[in-house]
A = this chain, B = another copy of it.
């Protein structure tokens, strides 16, 4: 191998930035052997030093835009996060004819369409394997490994913080707020946990996966997003009794009506491999019409795992540059003129089974009234548990798993049930997915 080095400008020296610098240094030999050229970071952009990352005599600029303008840099790696400076940085790099690798899910999910158009215009590539599920090469799997399939649906545990919280609630019977506080102390959750626990982070990732799976433009605003903040340990326990695990899933489905894009707590059968994915790990289950179900599992966050994905993109680019050709695979796997504008299915038309929990008066006739409301809406019941009343209580918990029903019908049934004077308060409702093809 006598190839010239591939020159890299690395912006951002946080967990992922310093992780990437270290992986490129520590694995330099095997990376160069695979890329057929050494990958050399020649310019780092960071507002401040990271004492945990020894940059040697690598050139450092405090102004990250200086890296994007550096004529010696062939590939700009954006690891600063956010959508303001990062966007300007990426656009500047593209305008200066540089290829871009980023781990920034928000940037791609919210501004990917325009960034890809700009990259097209300038004949450069934008890669973002690290933006979804950390080190798991799921974007490559969807865009290339499963390219022979019409993807029917995918369902993923794509937020490690949320999965850690749900695992703790299940295993230790702890309540949400309690576990969240611990996750923050451990550094798994941000001081402002909204992005994680409200599903916004998962929605960013889901929209990227769905666009590649189905060949549709990125449309972050179309994702239905429901967090895990209202889940109770009680529901986690009842779900297990019924043979289900509660996971916070990002789900994308393609059917006759269009595309469903939704992030929400979901009961899934406990015999699925996906149900066994615990703690901060990520996993994505993909159903292709030829291959059937495949699953991809690994670390969804962290410096070195995310760096693994960043470097995979760099090696891919180096291999392109080695044969003097970039842009052999479009960012979403389909060229822009091959993207389809499929309608997004409104949530009231989404069909799933449901888990419904209600507190009812423990007297004759209540169950029959509830059952007749379901029946009026054409909803059939798959399983039902009625708990014995607690000592001195007159109310009991009634838990119902319905068969598949359109959300609109369930909405009406729930409204009718809540209006009964034998029902206390609101129903708890969680979607169920069999994920069986």
Contact = CB atoms under 8 A, between A and B. Distances in A.
A277 interface: yes
A150 interface: yes
B273 A290 contact: no
How many monomers of this protein are in the complex?
A: 2
A299 B328 CA distance: 29
B319 A135 contact: no
B312 A147 contact: yes
A338 to B, nearest CB: 4
A148 B310 contact: yes
B294 A135 contact: yes
Contacts of A31: 147-148
A335 interface: yes
Interface in A127-162: 129, 134-137, 140-141, 143-150
A351 to B, nearest CB: 24
A23 interface: yes
B140 A291 contact: no
A35 interface: yes
A218 interface: no
B311 A322 contact: no
A250 interface: no
B335 A36 contact: yes
Contacts of A337: 1
A420 interface: no
A291 B319 contact: no
Interface of A: 1, 19, 23-24, 26-27, 30-31, 33-36, 129, 134-137, 140-141, 143-150, 215, 273, 276-277, 288-299, 304-305, 307-312, 314-316, 319-320, 322-325, 327-329, 333-335, 337-338
Given A135-B290, A293-B298, A297-B297, 13 more contacts: A34-B143, A34-B334, A36-B338, A135-B292, A145-B312, A290-B304, A290-B305, A291-B308, A292-B298, A295-B298, A323-B325, A323-B328, A328-B328
